[in-house]
Structure 1
Amino acid sequence: MFASTILTPSKLKLSHFVLYAPNSDVEILPSGSTKYRRGRGRVALYSKLTPQDRRLFFPRSHTRPVLTARVSNGGDGAFDATSQHSSPSVCDIEELNSTSSGLGSGYVALFVRMLGLDHDPLDREQAIVALWKYSLGGKKCIDTLMQFPGCINLTVNLLRSESTSACEAAAGLLRSLSSVNLYRNSVAESGAIEEINRLLSHSSLPPEVKEQSICTLWNLSVDEKLRIKLAKSDILPLIIKYLDDEDVKVKEAAGGILANLALSHVNHNILVEAGAIPKLAKFLTSDSEESKVIKKEARNALQELVKDDYYRILIVEEGLVPVPLVGTDAFKSFTPGLYSWPTLPDGTEIEKTSKQPSKFGASELLLGLNIDERNANIDEAKMNAIVGRTQQQFLARIGAIEWEGKKESHSEGSDGQRFTLLPWMDGVARLVLILELEDKSAITRAADSIADVSINEHMRIAFKEAGAIKPLVRLLDSDDDAVKLAVTRALERLCASNVVCQIIEAEGVLGPLISILKCSKISEPLAEKSLNTIARILDPSKEMKLKFYDGPVNGSEKCFRNDVLDSAFVGRLVEILKSSTPHLQGKAALVLEFVALTDPTMVSLISVDIESGLDAAFQQKILKISDGDSDIEDQLLEAYPVEVEEAGLAISAASRLMTRLLDSQQFRDKINSPHFIALLRGILKSCIPLHSKDWVAACLVKLSSVSTQTSSNPINAEVTLYETIPRLIEQIKTSFSAEALESAAVELNRIVSEGVVDATRAIVSEGAIYPLVKMIETGSDRGVEAGLAILYNLSMDSENHSAIVSAGAVPVLRRIVLSQRPQWVRALHLLRSLPT
């Protein structure tokens, strides 16, 4: 398609009165007439130009121009139309600028007319090449070109040319025109985007055409409206594909387009779904050498996407960490320990294998010389932490840290504070280094960033190995509430890892957190984060917490228990249980349960009016809306699923706590059992999630068994209807284990055969007929037997016949009868009871 011989201006030679175009078919005579050597085309204008005009339209250098797009510091994205041209030369540009104003519509008009469809293809090619070269003279030349309205449309048409030179020149001219803000919309409205999209779709597109075309899109993407148009078009996947192109200029332009598209928030979802994040992150995390331009554009794009909480997770998963830029002055307070025996970043001391100190301190400086390779056990995470700490401390000591920020513009967050993106090893080390500074604002931002990127086990372990735990725990004693909030938020996220949670607790975090929580004047967010962290450490449901019951941490049993059993702390927890949100109520109940397990006498709990706290936790406002109406409960679940879930978790935690407290005779004698039985019975019938009803049922059964005023039979029946039957049916619906299906079906059949009132109605209302039919078709013999028995009991009510038939029971039963399986007699009885 692009195999035509290119007639380039640089090959035209002036020899006496005849101009020859080597390797072409045209001989140009001084009179302006042409002589054809092989009859391919004509060039009628070159010989008519003055020497000055020839230099204007056909510069001596015919190398491809490079137009580098630059976004202005003001954020409007304006491009510099005169930046970094490799052609023409400086003297040519000076001549061009001095003569362009006087050129007017002379030769330019003639060349524009030659772009017409009625002209020979070779004439059109020479004209577009000349106009492209002319447009590189700057804005004045472009203004002259834009005086001819049809110029853009004719140029766009030449993007379909079979000549590589014509296509390159046409795309290059559009690139020049689109570099001026005033003419950008005109280029877009001419159909240039659609034509370039078609052009870039070709698998064998020459690199020079590819470069000019995609750079045109780079210019167009500066305009916000055109950004949205580009993002929603089919061209976006092509742009992302060109990030892998061999031509570095094409990769840079593709990255620039994506960086501009990311400036519009409405494009973020489109970019992420198109797979832009992994492609862009590769340029910042890969060890391969990449150009500074593509790295800068990739960073700019990702720094816009990282402002979104969800997209930040995707970027961190690609190995990048957002790090605040706190300024080089902040690092002046950094004082590394140069004369102490070195330790690992997490504080682990390294044993001295050499008894004699080095004369010049090499034993301290060159740590590797003092590690016995046979006994060293440094895993990859520790080695990465050592490398990251070494690099960042070195930059800080020589004053070069954040030095790159002086030359490059970095993204700003919603609060106007700058940040950059670093590979995770450097980013983690930099954040830990900032925690050691004196600047409170820098510490706050670093702690917040630690919280934001602690999204998985890998990152949490990385921060542990990098030594983040000790400074975070130390900063809990800060007198700055902003620092405390950021630090507790970071500790809360890090505690999601069981391994890191143990290290955090071992560093003595409970004491400072309990002191924070006992203060009634702290902000609600700080109280929430502190309580969340305490609850994760003391959660009795975790097996790792058995260490609290078996023995003390760091040998400080007395101190630890005194902190947890402090009456002011327990009273504060009860206060939270009475008046806070369901989320905090659930956390407070978990910690109070740990207190009950730690103090068998439960004196600390009983003395603080724990009953009123439990009463408040059981009476959730979201459940009062339904008032027992099943239709309203269904609407409630659809409209407020998160609120109902949180209310269920709070009630479940409070039920666990009350179950523990019922072991105390003093508590049993003190509470109003009928009142709590009524509350729990109402909750059991409510719309809270089924998994939250487990402890409610257990608490209700235990409470009724120790109460002398209530018969246990109604309680057991309600537990069966509202907790046991729904749980067994849920097991039949979701379990993939044959044994679990069989045991659930057998237990459900036992309940039905015992004649529990409304048991069959509860089974039907829970939607159990279809999964029962499916289990009969594929289950074990024992499970099939139980399922047939349940369906037979359900068939005794004619209202259930249509549901059983609709579930496909009839053909399944017929196959069992015809194959004479062990259950065929029961299947035949059920088949006879159904309308067939």
Structure 2
Amino acid sequence: LKCSHVNILTPVVGTLQECASEQSYRRAIRMEGMIEDLVKNLSSEHEELQMLCASAIFKCAEDKETRDLVRQHGGLQPLSVLLGNTENKQLLAAVTGAIWKCAISGENVSKLQEYKTLEALVGLLTDQPDEVLVNVVGALGECCQEQINRTIIRKCGGIPPLVKLLTGTDQALLVNVTKAVGACATEPENMMIIDRLDGVRLLWSLLKNPNPDVQASAAWAICPCIENAKDSGEMVRSFVGGLELIVNLLKSKNKEVLASVCAAITNIAKDEENLAVITDHGVVPLLSKLANTNNDKLRRHLAEAISHCCMWGSNRITFGETKAVAPLVRYLKSNDPSVHRATAQALYQLSEDPNNCITMHENGVVKLLLAMVGSTDETLQEAAAGCIANIRRLALATEKAKYG
């Protein structure tokens, strides 16, 4: 690698980038200090060598330590410069891939802002082969985690081409583009553009995609859209069959799909009319059926969905009848504080029904909640105390009825 002869370097880097698909090799490449040489050769005048170096970085940058090394050795600037070479598609695919993976680290994103990389990436959203687009959109999706970049993408006209890509068929591209559109939607100004271009309807139709990764990614993207749309209740109602479609996805076997759909239902249920509709479509028994899970991500979003769905009709009572209460109590033993918070809120809502209070008490909820009344998280504190108060109130009423 230290050699200056291109005809030796090229096959050496070629071999390395083939091996970099394996984690043990990626670790060895990092430990042997090879990242510095790969970065150095990005500035070679030989396009094949540049392409192989970028491809090796693309694969190695799966690991955080490597992403840091690429930055420390000054690799982000030459990668950004190479985006200008739009004729050589193989090189472009490798470079955009390397930028995508490097952008997973926030410190790298700040550097990419300096080099005006985002503007260059937006320029590559049209007339490129899928293998380039997947990486470009992946990189934009990572950069969009920061507010300033969501604004940059809007200002340089990136939202219309992103929304247009929602009509594609390449599964990997759809996963990345839904993530990017969802991240952009967290800004109300971006959301207006997405809505005007019918982006939410396109996301909704991706829920019918047979690939569970696409379904989950679309459902996650729908959440910020509902949160930031002007009249989200009306918008959701305008999708014919949309609510039935999302409720039916609760029958999926894929945990990520289930978690994302629960998150979407949490947002949908904030509108009373839509909550009434999903109740008619049987959302309550389907949510209850999922309650026996050990997956913390699913637990958290499921508890939030249950909590919001309690706000309609006799849903609280139905959750009790469909056996959702006892499994929820067990969630309080999870190690994840966000699960405690969502669960306490759900139990508080459910505890408005006397039968649910009895089930909770029998399952030892009071002891678990008492510990949480002292939490520093005020939402958790309040929900835990509210739930205990409801159980206590029922006990007092029972005693009074018994002993007068």
Q: TM-score, normalised by structure 1?
A: 0.35
Aligned partner letter, 1:605: R
Cα distance change on mapping 1:321 and 1:450 into 2, 3 Å: farther
Q: Residues of 2 paired with 1:699 and 1:492: CA distance? A: 30
The match for 1:620 is 331
Which residue of structure 2 lines up, in the alignment, with residue 449 of structure 1?
176
Q: 1:492 maps to what in 2?
A: 220
> Structure 1 residue 517: deviation in Å?
2.8
1:277 maps to 2:68: no
- Matched with 2:382 is 694
**1:254: Cα distance to partner?**
10
- How far residue 562 of structure 1 moved from its aligned partner, in angstroms, is 3.8
Counterpart residue number, 1:645: 337
Larger helix proportion of the pair: 2
1:658 to 2:350 alignment: yes
Deviations 1:751-772 (A, max 9, x none): xxxxxxxxxxxxxxxxxxxxxx
* 1:259 equivalent in structure 2: 54
Q: Quick check: 1:575–1:613 contact (8 Å CA) kept in 2?
A: yes
1:302 aligns with 2:96: yes
How many corresponding residue pairs? 354
Quick check: 1:707 aligned with 2:395? yes
Q: Deviation at 1:679? A: 1.7
1:429-448 aligned within 5 A: 429-436=160-167, 441-442=169-170, 444-448=171-175
Q: Where does residue 682 of structure 1 map in the other structure? A: 368
CA distance in 1, matches of 2:81, 2:197: 24
* Aligned equivalents of 1:618, 1:276: Cα separation in 2: 50
Instruction: Describe the superposition over 1:506-561 as per-residue Cα deviations: whole angstroms up to 9, x where unpaired.
Output: 143595244443467433343332222111333xxxxxx5xx36xxxxxxx4xx35
What displacement does 1:586 show?
3.7
The secondary structure found in structure 2 opposite 1:651 is: helix
Aligned partners of 2:311, 2:384: CA distance in 1, in Å?
19
Are 1:421 and 2:216 counterparts? no
CA contact (8 A) 1:485 1:526 kept: yes
1:180 maps to 7
Q: Secondary structure at the match of 2:328?
A: helix
Offset, 1:566 = 1.7
Matched, 1:517 2:223: no
Contact 1:322 1:449 in 2 (8 A): no
AA aligned to 1:522 is: S
Task: Pick one of 189, 201, 210 that aligns with 1:481.
Answer: 210
Alpha-carbon distance change, 529 to 281 in structure 1, aligned in 2, over 3 angstroms: same
The corresponding residue for 1:605 is: 316
The runs of 5 or more residues in structure 1 that have no matched partner are 1-76, 78-155, 157-173, 185-217, 244-248, 285-289, 324-383, 393-400, 412-417, 539-544, 550-556, 624-642, 712-836
* C-alpha distance 593-250 of structure 1, shift in aligned 2 (>3 A): same
CA contact (8 A) 1:322 1:421 kept: no
Structure 2 unmatched ranges of 5 or more = 17-24, 141-152, 400-404
The amino acid of 1:649's aligned partner reads R
Matches within 5 A, 1:116-135: none
2:19 paired residue number: none
In 2, distance between residues paired with 1:685 and 1:410?
Answer: 52
Question: Aligned pair 1:506/2:238, yes or no?
Answer: no
Q: Shift in Å at residue 255 of structure 1?
A: 5.9
Cα shift at 1:410: 5.0
| Closer/same/farther in 2, CA of residues 708 and 472 from structure 1, 3 Å limit | same
User: Would you say the 8 A contact 2:216–2:261 is kept in 1?
Assistant: yes
Structure 2 matches for 1:259-658, cutoff 5 A? 259=54, 261-262=56-57, 265=60, 267-274=66-73, 276-277=75-76, 280-281=79-80, 284=83, 297=91, 300-307=94-101, 310-311=104-105, 318=113, 320=118, 401-402=127-128, 405=129, 419-421=134-136, 428-436=159-167, 441-442=169-170, 444-453=171-180, 454-456=182-184, 457=186, 461=191, 463-464=194-195, 466-476=197-207, 478=208, 480-482=209-211, 486-496=214-224, 498-500=227-229, 503=232, 506-508=235-237, 511-518=241-248, 521-524=251-254, 525-538=256-269, 545=270, 548=271, 557=273, 560-566=274-280, 568-579=282-293, 581-599=295-313, 602=314, 604-610=315-321, 612-620=323-331, 622=333, 643-658=335-350
Residues 203 and 221 of structure 2 are in contact (CA less than 8 Å); yes or no, is this contact kept in structure 1? no
Please give the alpha-carbon distance, in whole angstroms, between the structure 2 residues aligned to 1:294 and 1:592: 52
Contact 1:435-1:447 at 8 Å conserved across structures: yes
Contact 1:488 1:529 in 2 (8 A): yes
Find the counterpart in structure 2 of residue 48 from structure 1: none
Q: Specify whether residues 470 and 220 from structure 1 end up closer, same or farther in structure 2 by C-alpha distance, changes over 3 A only.
A: same
- Report if the CA contact (8 A) 1:221-1:227 is conserved: no
> Does the Cα contact within 8 Å between 1:491 and 1:533 map onto a contact in 2?
yes
By how many angstroms is 1:320 displaced?
4.6
Post-superposition shift, 1:271? 0.8
- Aligned-partner residue type, residue 455 of structure 1: A
Structure 2 vs 1, CA of residues 506 and 519 (structure 1 numbering), >3 Å: closer, same or farther?
closer
CA contact (8 A) 1:435 1:471 kept: yes
Larger radius of gyration: 1
Q: What is the Cα deviation at residue 505 of structure 1?
A: 6.2
1:698 counterpart letter in structure 2:
G
SS of 2:396's equivalent?
coil
Report the Cα distance in structure 2 between the residues aligned to 1:257 and 1:518, rounded to whole angstroms. 46
Distance 1:520 1:263 in 2: 36
